[in-house]
Amino acid sequence: MAGELGAPCYPKSICGGDGLLRSTRLLSGPVESVTFCPFRSKVYEVRIEGTCSHNLPGETVRTGREHRYPGLLMPKGCGIERKQGDPGRTSGPIQASPAFKFEFGGQAMKTREYKIIQDPVNGPVKLPADMQKVIDSPEFQRLRYIRALGLCNLVFPGANHSRFEHSLGTMHLATLFSEALSIEDKDLAAVSALLHDVGHPPLSHSNEDIFQKMTGHDHLQAGLSIIEGKGEFSGSSLPGVLESIGIDPKDVASVLLGKRKDLRVLSRLISGPMDVDELDYMRRDSLYCGVQIGNVDHRRILNVALVHDNDIMVEEKGLGTIESVLIARILMYGTVYFHKTSRIAQTMTGYVIRENMEQFPHPFQMDDNDLFQILKGLKNNRIAQSLLKRELFKPVFKLPYKPELAVNIKEALEKESSLGEYDYIVDIIPPLEFSGPGRIKSDLSVLTPNGTMNITDVSPLVRALRETLENRTIVVSAPLWANEGVKKTVEKAIA
């Protein structure tokens, strides 16, 4: 009979205790032990059975996750979970893993199925046990030692954050958006977001183009091979780890590749015109570089985003927020990502890599520490030693970009006998390949009373931003000892 000692009950009046995990003693009678279970199943109805030692309601239906009240954490449910109503499940009781366990009548004990990571950008990030297995893999741990912004720390000293923490933040945002958008396969979304950068080479994007020419694949292609354990990454532990937690590695690869129609929404969530990757890295880069222009309002986007026609789009009322994100993106590129000094350091590193390619047989399995160890070993390489001392090339000329002018300058410097191939840099900022709607991410749809429209059709500001990227600059740089020779050569070329 419900309410009697040992009868099935729903301990809705039991909470987890105070900040020191002591019982709050809301029950008038003693409770020896109660196990709370998380609600993580995709079922239509969940019936709870437990054991009580005081008068409480009998078997009760619950839905939802933990309920939070001021000062209390009340997980809803205990003991054995019996799932009903889901035709995909075998009926009958199954044991649910406890998320919390409290010993009442004395000092409370607490065990967790998850960990909390304190992220300086997103706050507390909850990591379920399954996700911890992925994070503990050596392939993912490598990302701890790859700076997200390459050599930007030579300009912004705080920019030492890694691909590891960015990936955790992206996973966290993917979880939030999956809930807000009612995405069905939340686990696949979270894992795909977590692993979206697992293929990055040392210094992230800085010299990826060189490594791509050396190996034939970029960071995305390398990442897909690591996730599926293919080619030179056949020894990857990730396929086995993913399968052990019920995730098909091929599904993760398909989400990141973005070519499966049935996974299109997940693909757009992680890499699209308004994706969780960018919403994390802009806020993270802004914080660590000490600039505020990238600190976009992701919470507002959560409230105006929706899924429609198998795509992620925004309501018209959120247009101003989206415009602010696109403006912040352009400003971050001009201020941080394409800063002339970090571009100089990036090119100098590329010169060293080209001269010593045999030192980088498997770049997509290396990290920043490996690269700097190689630089330190090149005692007779002037550029390598200059990089380690931050003795960088200095700008000699800055000119408005014209195709024929850039060609003339390069040809003149190549013909100058006193200058070697690596004694100068001719850079174009923004790079020529950085162009088109995909770069400004203006292929976003807006849901209006008149139907779905492209954001460029409803926002004059976004159309103007596309033109901003076409304003380019030629920056010619050289080491101090070659400044005068480079300057005279360029002056003749532009005369």
What are the percentages of helix, strand and coil residues in the chain, rounded to 5? Answer: 45, 15, 40
Q: Over pLDDT 70: what percentage of the chain?
A: 77
Residues 388-394: contacts with CB under 8 Å, at least 24 apart = 390/154, 391/479, 392/154, 392/341, 392/344, 392/345, 392/348, 393/344, 393/347, 393/348, 393/424, 393/425, 393/477, 393/478, 393/479, 394/477, 394/478, 394/479, 394/480, 394/483
Q: Which residue has the higher pLDDT, 244 or 468?
A: 244
- What pLDDT, on a 0 to 100 scale, did the predictor assign at position 463? 82
**Three-state SS for 22?**
strand
> Which sign, positive or negative, has the C-alpha torsion 251, 254, 259, 264?
positive
Check residues 345 and 28 and name the one with the higher pLDDT: 345
Report pLDDT for 453.
Answer: 93
Q: Is the pLDDT of residue 164 over 70?
A: yes
Residue 484 CB neighbours (<10 A): 11
Kindly list the distances between the CA atom of residue 230 and the CA atoms of 227, 238, 247, in Å, as whole numbers in the listed order.
8, 11, 17
pLDDT at 34: 35
* pLDDT of 49 over the 70 cut: no
Rounded mean pLDDT, 40-44: 33
Q: What element of type H or E holds 93?
A: strand 92-94
Q: Which pLDDT value is given to residue 373?
A: 97
- pLDDT band, very low/low/confident/very high, at 40 (cuts 50, 70, 90): very low
Residue 85: pLDDT over 90: no
pLDDT of residue 437: 65
- Is the distance from CB of 59 to CB of 48 less than 8 angstroms? yes
Question: For residue 82, what are the β-bridge partners?
Answer: 47, 93
Taking only the tens place, the pLDDT of each residue in 412-424 is 999 999 999 999 9
Write the pLDDT tens digit of every residue in 51-67. 333 333 333 333 333 33
Task: Give the torsion sign (CA, 439, 443, 447, 453).
Answer: positive
* Annotation: CATH topology of 117-290: Hypothetical protein af1432 (1.10.3210)
The residue-averaged pLDDT of 272-293 equals: 95
The pLDDT score that the predictor gives to residue 365 is 95
- Asked if the model's pLDDT at residue 43 lies above 50, the reply is no
Nearest to 415 by CA among 352, 474, 351, 486: 486
Q: Does pLDDT of 28 surpass 60?
A: no
Q: Is the pLDDT of residue 76 over 80?
A: no
What's the whole-number mean pLDDT along residues 108-131?
A: 81
What span, in angstroms and rounded, lies between the C-alpha atoms of 215 and 184?
A: 37
Q: Tens of pLDDT along 232-267?
A: 999 999 999 999 999 999 999 999 999 999 999 999
Confidence of residue 438 (pLDDT cuts 50, 70, 90): low
Cis peptide before 430 (omega within 30 of 0): yes
Cα torsion through 299, 162, 130, 70, rounded to 10: -40
Confidence of residue 97 (pLDDT cuts 50, 70, 90): very low
Backbone phi, psi, residue 298, to 5°: -70, -25
Q: By C-alpha distance, which of 335, 468, 493, 491 is closest to 412?
A: 493
Tokens representing 243 are 């399968």
Beta bridge partners of 126: 116
Q: What is the mean pLDDT of residues 470-494?
A: 94
**CA pair distance 102, 58, nearest whole angstrom:** 21
Instruction: Specify the range with the lowest mean pLDDT, choosing from 46-60, 208-222, 416-430.
Output: 46-60
183-204 mean pLDDT = 96
Closest C-alpha among 225, 220, 230, 232 to residue 257: 220
Supply the pLDDT for residue 11: 37
Residue 464's pLDDT band (cuts 50, 70, 90): confident
**Confidence (pTM):** 0.78
Strand extents, DSSP E, 294-354: 305-308, 311-315
Average pLDDT, the chain: 81
The pLDDT value recorded for residue 46 is 34
Question: Coil, strand or helix: which one is 315?
Answer: strand
Residue 230's pLDDT is what? 96
Place of tokens 């992925």: 134
pLDDT per residue over 354-406, tens digit each?
999 999 999 999 999 999 999 999 999 999 999 999 999 999 999 999 999 99
In the chain, which segments carry CATH 1.10.3210.10? Answer: 117-290
Residues 6+ apart with CB under 8 A from 276: 170, 173, 174, 177, 193, 269, 270
Q: Give me the sign of the Cα torsion angle 24, 28, 34, 40.
A: negative
Per-residue pLDDT at 71 exceeds 50: no
Task: Give the chain's end-to-end CA distance (angstroms, integer).
Answer: 99
CB atoms within 10 A of CB 388: 12
pLDDT for 468 equals: 76
CB 198 within 8 A of CB 227: yes
Instruction: Give the CA count within 13 Å in the CB-facing half-sphere of 175.
Output: 17
Would you state the pLDDT for residue 50? 38
Tokens representing 279 are 């919403």
Cβ-in-10-Å burial (0-12, 13-18, 19+) of 339 comes to buried
